[in-house]
């Protein structure tokens, strides 16, 4: 029964003890001996009683208290914890629930466990440049699809479509994080990518014609620059590694008697979770006889130091991607012909097409494992250093022999 009306509330007198007047639907007016009147709500969510104050009268009028009561009852009916909802509203009023605040909280949480340092940095740069200036101060639970589309359209006009789609993806992750933590109800970026042109996928340029690969290898042999740089160029197609994994090689990682190079997981392209969860794991590169010979020729020059490929400006710093790129360009290969990151695609393609062991093609999974593409397994995404190892050893030697044949123009 509804017992309260605005005039009645104003006329309620205090007594020696505090008492309540019920309005219905879980709303009460509490009257204290001092004369203070305040609104209290009591309800049940998930089998447990929940209660909180809506504020004091007359600061909060009867109509306002009823409106808040109806909102809470509606949230309970929809399976939403009213306490969590009120906490989110409070955070929004204090600025803690703004898009930027939630985004930075999301970024800090996942950058610690999921992303590499460079990936984490790039995400934050995109948000600070393209999103925060437009919706960063808005309450995250009050942002509409049109607002996000306007922000994304600004990126589209720059022509950087890959940045656009990455930014949309990041924003969607932030909104879903807000939903999961009780600070938003919807993701206004849902299917937003369908309204924008997709970026054209660009692959690192590489050489796939066997005759041209042979010419490339002969040009590497004729390189007259720094000897560690020349060695790195010759090894690039042999070891099937990313440039950074090759450049930062340390002599302690090699066992030439076994013909193995064991690269610690912290130097590989992996999530921070993998690196911290499997700190003792490593990626094994079976070394062909040709690769061992190249390393042994270099060791008298740099073997007393830590790095296999120290830079000319200091033995404590490795050569850079730019150094290798300049060396390739000096040999006449432009960016559309050969990229320093293109050797892995060269290896994958030519091995699939041309390498046979006992008359059989190489299984694609063997190649992918040697390329250090981790796959799901019961231990997580860490490396399994023994999987396909006999096949990988044979493949790496057969690949090196094939490159020798191309270099000899056979």
Asked if residue 202 is part of any domain, the answer here is no
Residue 39 is part of a domain; what is its CATH number?
Answer: 3.30.160.390
Instruction: For residue 189, give both structure tokens.
Output: 């970026």
Asked if residue 91 is part of any domain, the answer here is no
Q: Is the pLDDT of residue 4 over 70?
A: no
- 383 noted as active-site residue: yes
Q: Is 22 helix (H, G, I), strand (E, B) or coil?
A: strand
Identify which of 266, 251, 248 has the alpha carbon closest to the alpha carbon of residue 324. Answer: 248
Q: What CA–CA distance (Å, rounded) separates 217 from 405?
A: 11
Residues in the chain, total: 410
pLDDT of residue 379: 46
Q: Choosing from 90, 258, 373, 385, which is the catalytic residue?
A: 373
188 and 329 fall within a common domain: no
pLDDT of residue 16: 76
Distance of CA 56 to CAs 2, 29, 38, 65, 71, Å?
19, 9, 4, 9, 18
Q: Choosing from 230, 270, 383, 392, which is the catalytic residue?
A: 383
pLDDT of residue 24: 77
pLDDT of residue 374: 54
Residues 199-244: tens digit of each pLDDT: 877 788 999 999 999 999 999 999 999 999 999 999 999 999 999 9
The residue among 141, 161, 195 that closes a domain is 195
Q: Which domain holds residue 66?
A: 6-80
26, 43 in Cβ contact below 8 A? yes
Q: Is the pLDDT of residue 1 over 60?
A: no
Q: Choosing from 270, 339, 344, 407, which is the catalytic residue?
A: 344
The residue among 147, 170, 195 that closes a domain is 195
140 and 225 fall within a common domain: no
158 and 230 fall within a common domain: no
66 and 130 fall within a common domain: no
- 373 noted as active-site residue: yes
Higher pLDDT, 383 or 12: 12
The residue among 128, 163, 195 that closes a domain is 195
134 and 167 fall within a common domain: yes
Q: What CA–CA distance (Å, rounded) separates 239 from 219?
A: 18
Residue 127 is part of a domain; what is its CATH number?
Answer: 1.10.150.130
Q: What CA–CA distance (Å, rounded) separates 232 from 237?
A: 9
Q: Choosing from 37, 69, 242, 267, which is the catalytic residue?
A: 242
Q: Choosing from 176, 269, 275, 381, which is the catalytic residue?
A: 269
* Residue 19: strand pairing partners: 31
Asked if residue 249 is part of any domain, the answer here is yes
Q: Give DSSP secondary structure letters for 145-190.
A: HHHHHHHHHHHHHHT-HHHHHHHHHHHHHHHHHHHHTTS-S--TTT
150 and 216 fall within a common domain: no
Asked if residue 373 is part of any domain, the answer here is yes
- 149 noted as active-site residue: no
Q: What CA–CA distance (Å, rounded) separates 3 from 6?
A: 10
Q: Is the pLDDT of residue 382 over 50?
A: no
Helices (H), 181-288: 210-221, 227-239, 243-247, 272-277
Distance of CA 101 to CAs 92, 138, 156, 182, 383, Å?
10, 10, 25, 14, 36
How many structural domains does the chain have?
A: 3
- 7 noted as active-site residue: no
259 and 398 fall within a common domain: yes
110 and 248 fall within a common domain: no
185 and 234 fall within a common domain: no
pLDDT of residue 410: 64
Question: Does the bond joining 118 to the residue before it have cis omega, within 30 degrees of 0?
Answer: no
- 144 noted as active-site residue: no
Pairing of strands 260-264, 356-357: unpaired
Residue 340 is part of a domain; what is its CATH number?
Answer: 1.10.443.10
Higher pLDDT, 96 or 357: 357
Residues 73-113: tens digit of each pLDDT: 887 777 666 766 666 566 555 556 899 999 999 999 988 77
168 and 225 fall within a common domain: no
Q: Is 402 exposed, middle or buried (0-12, 13-18, 19+ CB in 10 A)?
A: middle
Instruction: Note the Cα 156 to chain centre separation in Å.
Output: 22
Average pLDDT, the chain: 85
Q: Is the pLDDT of residue 364 over 50?
A: yes
pLDDT of residue 25: 78
Residues 389-408: tens digit of each pLDDT: 999 999 999 999 999 999 99
Q: Choosing from 87, 326, 341, 381, which is the catalytic residue?
A: 341
56 and 136 fall within a common domain: no
182 and 116 fall within a common domain: yes
pLDDT of residue 230: 96
pLDDT of residue 118: 81
pTM for this prediction: 0.60
């Amino acid at each position: 029964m509804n017992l309260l009306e605005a005039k009645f509330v104003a006329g309620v007198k205090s007594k020696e003890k505090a008492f309540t007047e019920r309005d219905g639907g879980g709303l009460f007016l509490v009257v204290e001996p001092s004369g203070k009147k305040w609104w209290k709500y009591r309800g049940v969510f998930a089998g447990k009683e929940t209660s909180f104050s809506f504020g004091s009268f007359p600061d909060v009028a009867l109509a306002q208290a009823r409106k808040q009561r109806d909102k809470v009852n509606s949230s309970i009916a929809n399976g939403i914890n009213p306490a969590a909802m009120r906490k989110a509203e409070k955070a929004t009023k204090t600025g803690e629930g703004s898009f930027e605040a939630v985004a930075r909280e999301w970024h800090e949480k996942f950058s610690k466990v999921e992303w590499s340092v460079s990936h984490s940095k790039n995400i934050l740069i995109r948000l600070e440049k393209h999103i925060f200036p437009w919706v960063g101060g808005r309450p995250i639970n009050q942002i509409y699809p049109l607002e996000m589309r306007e922000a994304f359209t600004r990126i589209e006009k720059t022509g950087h479509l890959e940045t656009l789609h990455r930014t949309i993806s990041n924003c969607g992750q932030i909104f879903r994080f807000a939903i999961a933590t009780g600070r938003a109800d919807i993701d206004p970026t849902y299917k937003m990518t369908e309204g924008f042109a997709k970026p054209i996928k660009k692959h690192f340029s590489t050489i796939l014609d066997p005759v041209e690969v042979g010419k490339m290898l002969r040009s590497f042999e004729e390189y007259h620059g720094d000897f560690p740089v020349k060695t790195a160029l010759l090894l690039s197609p042999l070891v099937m590694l990313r440039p950074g994994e090759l450049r930062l090689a340390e002599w302690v990682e090699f066992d030439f008697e076994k013909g193995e190079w064991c690269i610690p997981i912290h130097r590989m392209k992996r999530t921070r979770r993998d690196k911290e969860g499997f700190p003792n794991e490593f990626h094994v590169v079976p070394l062909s006889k040709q690769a061992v010979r190249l390393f042994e020729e270099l060791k008298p020059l740099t073997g007393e130091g830590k790095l296999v490929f120290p830079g000319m400006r200091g033995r404590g710093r490795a050569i850079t991607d730019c150094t290798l790129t300049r060396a390739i360009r000096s040999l006449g290969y432009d960016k559309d012909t050969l990229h320093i990151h293109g050797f892995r695609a060269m290896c994958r393609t030519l091995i699939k097409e041309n390498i046979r062991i006992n008359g059989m093609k190489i299984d694609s999974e063997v190649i992918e494992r040697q390329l250090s593409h981790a796959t799901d397994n019961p231990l997580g995404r860490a490396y399994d250093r023994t999987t396909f190892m006999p096949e990988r050893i044979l493949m790496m030697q057969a690949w090196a022999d094939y490159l020798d044949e191309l270099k000899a123009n056979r």
